[in-house]
Structure 1
């Protein structure tokens, strides 16, 4: 019996059972549905008054206050009700309609309609309640959006008076960058405290650290000059893609050389003036000076240099002449990188430059950056890139920046040795303290040893405070526990695919592939070769007219798209993302699922917009695995993940009992998990013997032939 039944029977004895059940259903919602007793009156007040005309509005409002108080008490000890089995309402209605009329008359009672509420009033009450709930939901969304908007990065810095004076006088010509004693925060979260950053001119620095610690934020603060650096040092941060317009790709790159553009424009104006018959010796002298300056900056070689950079990043001769507006976002990001490499700023800031590149372009970029003439600061989670490009590593941890000489491999060795030494020192100090304390405890009440005890106590007080060595928590990812399927799991036979029947050539032709629950297949190939298209065909997002695809009847595919993160609701919390897609489950289940991918504690209750790129990727992985797939199709899952998480992803893939098809350019991950390598190119897909090493040999050979 409902907790409101007695009150309704007592005050509305003539109320129809059907109407009473409706009112009880409205009242038995959660406290979140009503802010106060007035909300309850708005929902059911008109109905109650229409049932008993003797009740005044004041009487009904008093009853609504009683209902609201009951809800407040119940909300403190709320128990969720879950059906043991699904109820098919449509089937029940169908059965009722098909019942024999005589039988129906035994069970169905004809009721007196005299005390029923007016249907129009009932609809009006329902509409008012719905409007109230939508208004409350919108207010909540706006509040979340405002909270997200207020979370911005801030920086504070202690400036050096000597450097400030030199800067004001214009005498500071040093190309080194020294940012001392600065703090960095994002919203209420402190990212860096009393940190120091020294960038020596001509060195290449790799900035590493866990997701969410502030690497990208630090680059933005430097780029925006919210952290003070010498004004004569030019800074370029490759973060935004090139805006598309009619400018060709190669001209877009050439425009970065503003001095060359200025000189050529002036040359054109002077020649036009001279050709029109203007007689001015000063113009001829200026023209001669312009030619000298153009020769000094090697302007005649600019087009060739821009073309080499574009070709290395995957732009063939035809693509270099295409307008920038014809390229997708990924290719425009490559254009932004090409412009940066061409302009050669004093300080180049790169944030995950390999995310937009295929293996061939990554190899070219690694070779190109090894001779970079100015200062480079790059955030990357590609182990091979960090072993090849940087001369120094800066480790962001514990709200500080710690510099190391050498590449990532050397950094890891040095860091581990340093941690071992710190741990030994800590244990030695701990043992020494225990030894001294034992002496104090033994002779504390011995008069002959009183002076020794006092000196030992003072010595202990002067010893520096012991701090245990902080060990970074190991990242663990866990894919769902599933039973392997008997082969064949997936068979693709002689498929051909075109996006449009009007396309002259197919994307793929005569492709035959197969996969099982033991498959660990990695797909590689140049951008635009059709890797993501192949995955969409496999998961059924794209269909083929020619060929055949046979899937196991119990196959459940989990698909992580390349831009999966972009489809997350930025104003939603991590828990809310899962609850929206899989409603009706307890919050503990959502939090447990997020915890399997490293999103735990208060992090699970933060909005998606406040997370780092790597944390968003983990939420997307958790969302994919919520349906417990037994076959995973992953398109560039390592984008934005830190090195430790990529290692954990490799372990999770190897522990997974289902099959996996993976598109990735991360060499370390491919070597850890790959059992079979497929290469997309030349409008087909082929398996390659010798794995990644053989594919890289092919790429190096092609680069040498084209150079």
Structure 2
């Protein structure tokens, strides 16, 4: 449904901090979210993206500073753990009836049908739904009160290609604000117009696109692993040419192995992307949900391999300098 969105700003933060107990995770947050914002949170796992999402969704309160919301702002928050919190024996109709107790069943069924839960699926116990069907039920639940601000934490992990494309279209047509946390590059590239970097206890606007961020992370990782210059470099003993060759040989072999591994992973990701983008995949009975999970695993492996490769290049450079 198209909600009535309050005038801007929807949320403002002034030197706010958030965390758990007495330990802050993110500090000095001075940010603003307006209607029509499409913001993707980027940063390494464990840096606080989900913590920030919970702050926006009022699951956490600021420890210090100020956070102001537009009057009457309604928020829809999708998180992966909520899929596991569904009542196993209850069907989709029962889940929505708890949130809309005065709504006739016919209208509840119509709402569920808009999320692809038609007829038998509407009366199937949650424990017997697929991962994608559970995700769509969760999306139906978080939107049942017409939120004006959506926070979506990994919304496409269990969705098939048609559901992903429908979600992208819905996000782009939604008149309110959307904040996304996702490893799905396709989703981010087609929806997000702003990137906020969650890193080193801060959340700051990132000037660039997803490719710029990837290069930024590789450069930072290389700088972090670069050895410090010795205090008395002029007096440091030089390795002989033979010693350098002996030291370099295994390093170069390992670097070459990693380069081949990176190429294989990139090829595997490209193959999966091709299958996910091919409508014929449905006709062939391909497990698209499984492909999505496999792609996430490959992306994680690619990041680790590239990090190790950068470390080896730094070590090789140091040995070559003697």
Give the TM-score band, short-chain normalised.
0.5 to 0.7
Partner of 2:310: 705
Partner of 1:497: 18
Q: TM-score scaled to structure 1, two decimals?
A: 0.31
Distance 1:617 1:487, change over 3 A: same
1:598-613 equivalence runs, <5 A: 598-613=116-131
Partner of 2:90: 572
Correspondent of 2:203 among 656, 676, 685: 685
* Whole-angstrom distance in 1 between the partners of 2:122 and 2:5: 31
* Whole-angstrom distance in 2 between the partners of 1:624 and 1:600: 18
Partner of 1:649: 167
Correspondent of 2:41 among 520, 523, 530: 523
2:59 is equivalent to residue 541 of structure 1: yes
> Residue by residue, what CA displacement relative to the aligned partner does 1:374-426 show, whole Å, maximum 9, x if unpaired?
xxxxxxxxxxxxxxxxxxxxxxxxxxxxxxxxxxxxxxxxxxxxxxxxxxxxx
* Whole-angstrom distance in 2 between the partners of 1:667 and 1:497: 27
* Whole-angstrom distance in 2 between the partners of 1:485 and 1:498: 28
Residue 591 of structure 1: how far off its partner (Å): 0.8
Partner of 2:8: 487
Contact 2:43 2:49 in 1 (8 A): yes
Partner of 1:414: none
Question: Which of the pair has more CA radius of gyration?
Answer: 1
Residue 491 of structure 1: how far off its partner (Å): 0.5
Residue 678 of structure 1: how far off its partner (Å): 0.8
* Whole-angstrom distance in 2 between the partners of 1:489 and 1:544: 16
Q: TM-score scaled to structure 2, two decimals?
A: 0.67
> Residue by residue, what CA displacement relative to the aligned partner does 1:78-115 show, whole Å, maximum 9, x if unpaired?
xxxxxxxxxxxxxxxxxxxxxxxxxxxxxxxxxxxxxx
Residue 589 of structure 1: how far off its partner (Å): 1.2
* Whole-angstrom distance in 2 between the partners of 1:498 and 1:627: 28
Q: Secondary structure at the match of 1:553?
A: coil
Correspondent of 1:634 among 134, 152, 157: 152
Q: Secondary structure at the match of 2:15?
A: strand
* Whole-angstrom distance in 2 between the partners of 1:496 and 1:575: 39
Residue 562 of structure 1: how far off its partner (Å): 2.6
Q: Secondary structure at the match of 2:97?
A: helix
Residue 564 of structure 1: how far off its partner (Å): 1.3
Question: Runs of 5+ in structure 1 lacking a partner?
Answer: 1-479
2:105 is equivalent to residue 587 of structure 1: yes
> Residue by residue, what CA displacement relative to the aligned partner does 1:340-381 show, whole Å, maximum 9, x if unpaired?
xxxxxxxxxxxxxxxxxxxxxxxxxxxxxxxxxxxxxxxxxx
Partner of 2:261: none
2:84 is equivalent to residue 552 of structure 1: no
> Residue by residue, what CA displacement relative to the aligned partner does 1:605-646 show, whole Å, maximum 9, x if unpaired?
111111100000000000111111111111111111112211
* Whole-angstrom distance in 1 between the partners of 2:198 and 2:159: 25
Residue 603 of structure 1: how far off its partner (Å): 1.3
* Whole-angstrom distance in 2 between the partners of 1:675 and 1:516: 13
* Whole-angstrom distance in 1 between the partners of 2:76 and 2:212: 30
Q: Secondary structure at the match of 1:491?
A: strand
1:299-448 equivalence runs, <5 A: none
* Whole-angstrom distance in 1 between the partners of 2:188 and 2:63: 32
Question: Runs of 5+ in structure 2 lacking a partner?
Answer: 222-306, 313-322
Residue 670 of structure 1: how far off its partner (Å): 0.2
Partner of 1:676: 194
* Whole-angstrom distance in 2 between the partners of 1:671 and 1:659: 16
Distance 1:562 1:706, change over 3 A: farther
Partner of 1:86: none
* Whole-angstrom distance in 2 between the partners of 1:628 and 1:610: 27
Partner of 2:294: none
Q: Secondary structure at the match of 1:517?
A: coil
> Residue by residue, what CA displacement relative to the aligned partner does 1:161-207 show, whole Å, maximum 9, x if unpaired?
xxxxxxxxxxxxxxxxxxxxxxxxxxxxxxxxxxxxxxxxxxxxxxx
Partner of 2:248: none
Residue 566 of structure 1: how far off its partner (Å): 0.9
* Whole-angstrom distance in 1 between the partners of 2:25 and 2:163: 34
- Of the two structures, which has the highest relative contact order with CA contacts closer than 8 Å and spacing of 6 or more? 2
> Residue by residue, what CA displacement relative to the aligned partner does 1:457-493 show, whole Å, maximum 9, x if unpaired?
xxxxxxxxxxxxxxxxxxxxxxx21133211111011
* Whole-angstrom distance in 2 between the partners of 1:600 and 1:684: 43
* Whole-angstrom distance in 2 between the partners of 1:510 and 1:531: 15
Residue 699 of structure 1: how far off its partner (Å): 2.8
